[in-house]
Amino acid sequence: MAEDGAFTFFRESLMAWHFENPRPLPWKETDDPYKIWISEIILQQTRIIQGIPYYERFVKKYPTVCDLAKASEAEVLKDWQGLGYNSRARNLRKAAITVCEDHSGYFPGTYDDLITLSGIGPYTAAAIASFAFGERVPVIDANVIRILCRYLGIEEVPVGRNVRLQMESVLNDAMMGADPAEFNQAIMNFGALQCTPGKPDCAACPLSDTCYAYNTDRVGELPKTRKRKPRRERFFHYLVLKSDEGVMIHHRTKKDIWEGMYDFPLKELESALPLKLKQLNDWAVSLVNTEKYVLSDPVCDTQILTHQKISCVFYPCTVKSLPGSETPLLEKARTEEIFFVANRNLHKFAVPKIIDCYFRVKSILL
């Protein structure tokens, strides 16, 4: 698109398609930067159909940015449970605190200021700046990248600075004369609904006549992608110490997957080969001050993450009540990271998906 006429055709075709194909979503009728920010963070790595109920619950529980800032990290992680990529939730809270403490509760109104907040990158900053404040700055997400790679015939893997600068230049020219918010929404919707990753309906596309990929029969080849590295495989062995009243849990405080969430006392080993009975007995008595417990058969499960495969072996261990004790499960090794939680309080703790599945299978309700 080197000529003004080409930019005009692209913009007008895109905007005409946009108005003929409305896509109603709960956050599209607002210019509140807080709500726009929440929606954009939730939708990173999350499908819209899954993200909508989280968005609605979030803005109901935390109606303002300062309400979110007042929440504890544990509370925010619990509300985030099920979405994954928990650093998003931690950064949400950090950014909310910054907005309240450094900006008197008002979101910065420019791209350059927005991008300084925790968890806000170029795409999110552009989305908030254009949708809430009308700043003429293009959004570049996976949908936009796919459209431009196909339409312009970009042969590089679209990850480098040079490719991004090329896309920004094209979009800045293409959006001239259009409302920035409408243009950005139009091109994202076009990628989500028309120029889709799989088998787009190119015959119905208003840009097909001038689309490089369509006219060279390369729609399925663009954009090019990097070869994905093999997933790292890890083996988690969990001792599930429970009584009628509750269960022992472990707070994940290290910089690792599921940081800030809760699971069970853990040993990470080199394989999923079950532990021997003596090893389990030694482990159990190191955590509780009784040998009155019953070990059940191990339960295996797997969770696939973007870059890791987590194979888990759960060892259910039911501890008998102790005479005269108010807390049947008495811990020897109680620390800030490992402690007993009563069943009635389990719902307060954020757990990884694989732990949540174990609870549900074993009818231990959170």
Q: What angle do the packed helices 142-152 and 161-174 form, to 10 degrees?
A: 80
First to last CA, the chain: 55
The Cα–Cα gap between 101 and 96 comes to 9
- What does the longest C-alpha to C-alpha distance in the chain come to? 86
CB 10 within 8 A of CB 187: no
40 among known catalytic residues: yes
Q: How far is CA 250 from CA 126, 258, 300, 321, in A?
A: 39, 12, 19, 21
Catalytic residue among 12, 20, 29, 40: 40
For 136, which DSSP code?
-
The Cα–Cα gap between 16 and 12 comes to 6
The Cα–Cα gap between 277 and 263 comes to 22
> DSSP string of 22-85?
----TTTT---HHHHHHHHHHHTTS-HHHHHHHHHHHHHH--SHHHHHHS-HHHHHHHHTTS--
Please report where in the chains the tokens 């339960």 appear, as a residue. Answer: 299
Residue 30's closest CA among 39, 42, 21?
39
Question: Any idea which residues carry the catalytic annotation?
Answer: 40
